[in-house]
Amino acid sequence: MILKVNVPQLISSVLLPLGLFASACTSAPNNTLESGPWRGIIEVSGHEMPFNFTVSEEKGKQVAYLINGEEKILIDEITFDQDSVRLQMHIFDATLHAKVDKGKLKGRWERRDQAQPYSLPFSAEHGKTERFSAEPAKAAMDVTGKWEVQFQGEEGDNYPAIGEFTQNGNTLSGTFLTPTGDYRFLQGQVNGKNLSLSTFDGAHAYLFTAEPQQDGTLKGDFYVGIAGHETWTAKRNENFQLPSADTLTHLKPGYDKLSFSFPNLEGKQVSLEDPAFKGKPVVVQIFGSWCPNCMDETAFLAPWYAKNKNRGVEIIGLGYELSPEFEKAKARISKMKDRFDVDYTLLVAGTKDKELVAKSLPALSKVVSFPTTIFIDKKGKVRRIHTGFSGPGTGKYYEDFVKEFNTTIDELVAEK
């Protein structure tokens, strides 16, 4: 996802004037970015959050890849206007705008998929490959392993997480898993006694820092958005478990089926009662194009469906977007559909307010996370509701999800 329900984001409308980059923005032959590695910085909540990207040429045009550890996210919409460049961030309603000057970029990261869109200072330098320090001090600790984590917001709201880290010398990677999803691929380092991790998927810029305590625990900070800040503590605990993702959302008493009718991308109403879904196992995906965990789940579901649809299984994606206007929501969902080559049914279901989502699906007790995945049997009965998604950045947790998903589908397909 990652936009966690627990993460406070204090944002204000500090956008650049739209006219600054609203001109033709057509690519000019002499306007290019230097190929190779770049190191970017976004000022997140008053702190420098570094990230890495590369620029290359593919099929006659320049593209970039955001790099988070093993992950590479394609950025293939790069346009120029005189001495400025604009990079459209993947499927998200977010951009990097910058002036180009001798291997350096200086501008803003703009995010528009919020009730109050905002922008933050951005800069980048060509040829830099480090994430944090180019010459870190020898690591004074090794945090490899599983940690029991508690995040605490400034308003006193706490939530648990699992920290999974892998350290090799100064190099650090890993993620945090929460009851509602994960923080995807985190990349960083241990510099002396300082732990630093960051991730940037185009629409979500997260910075985690921590230091070891005398009792062997970790104590740190999490920065996001303009002024979002949480603290976190961690202790080693190989046996720590989060609440089961299958217990957080359930059907209300008296319900055993899900009922809805929403328009598809062509504006035609679609229901579970339609002949296309009758007598088949159906997976209902509650998602938003703005949600990074939903992006990860869609990246799994799209090829899975292509391989398995001939088994008589259907998937319906219910898209909940920022805008209540059909055409605007359709545009965001269509971009996700095209990017991930989604062949299953996608519907425009409403806005991303979780209370409104629950009202649009009255059989559900509540909706606490995007995505939420609902498994329906051949008789139309809800058999399982899975909250959140453990993406590929979580390693074995992702593998466990895939195994459980396939086991559930196999059982539903086999039933008479």
Give residue-wise pLDDT tens across range 70-115: 999 999 999 999 999 999 999 999 999 999 999 999 999 999 988 7
Class of the CATH-defined domain 261-414: alpha beta
Q: What does the longest C-alpha to C-alpha distance in the chain come to?
A: 67
Superfamily of the domain at 145-236: Quinohemoprotein amine dehydrogenase alpha subunit, domain 2 (2.40.128.120)
pLDDT for 31 equals 77
Identify the pLDDT of residue 11.
35
User: Do the strands 261-263 and 171-178 form a parallel or antiparallel pair, or are they unpaired?
Assistant: unpaired
SS3 50: strand
Fold equal for 18-126 and 261-414:
no
Q: Residue 376: which residues within 8 A CB-CB, separation 6 or more?
A: 257, 258, 272, 281, 282, 283, 284, 382, 383
What is the token pair recorded at 352?
């991303």
Element (H, E) at 306: helix 292-308
- The whole-angstrom separation of Cα 92 and Cα 335 is 9
State residue 308's pLDDT score: 98
pLDDT < 50: residue spans in the chain: 1-30
- Under CATH, which number does the domain 18-126 receive? 2.40.128.120
195 φ/ψ angles, rounded to the nearest 5 degrees: -100, 135
Q: Which residues pair with 88 in a beta bridge?
A: 95
* DSSP state at residue 251: B
Segments making up each domain of the chain, as ranges: 18-126, 145-236, 261-414
Q: 367 near 358, Cβ under 8 Å? A: yes
Give me Rg for the CA atoms of the chain.
22
**pLDDT of res. 113:** 85
Q: Report DSSP state, residue 139.
A: P
Residue recorded with tokens 């998200």? 92
How far are the Cα atoms of 42, 86, 108 from residue 105, in angstroms, in the given order? Answer: 12, 11, 10
Residue located via tokens 């202790």: 235
Task: List beta partners, residue 124.
Answer: 40, 105
Beta pairing, strands 372-376 & 282-287: antiparallel
133 phi, psi to nearest 5 deg: -80, 140
Residue 208: CB atoms within 10 Å: 23
Report whether the peptide linkage leading into residue 371 is cis, meaning its omega lies within 30 degrees of zero. yes
How many CB atoms are closer than 10 A to CB 343?
13
Q: How many CA atoms lie within 13 A of 240 on its CB side?
A: 20
CA dihedral 218→206→139→213, nearest 10 degrees, is -10
Nearest to 25 by CA among 62, 63, 77, 74: 77
pLDDT score of 116: 85
Question: Tokens in use for 416?
Answer: 């008479």
Secondary structure class of 173 (helix, strand, coil)? strand
- Helix 326-340 and helix 292-308, axial crossing angle in degrees, nearest 10: 60
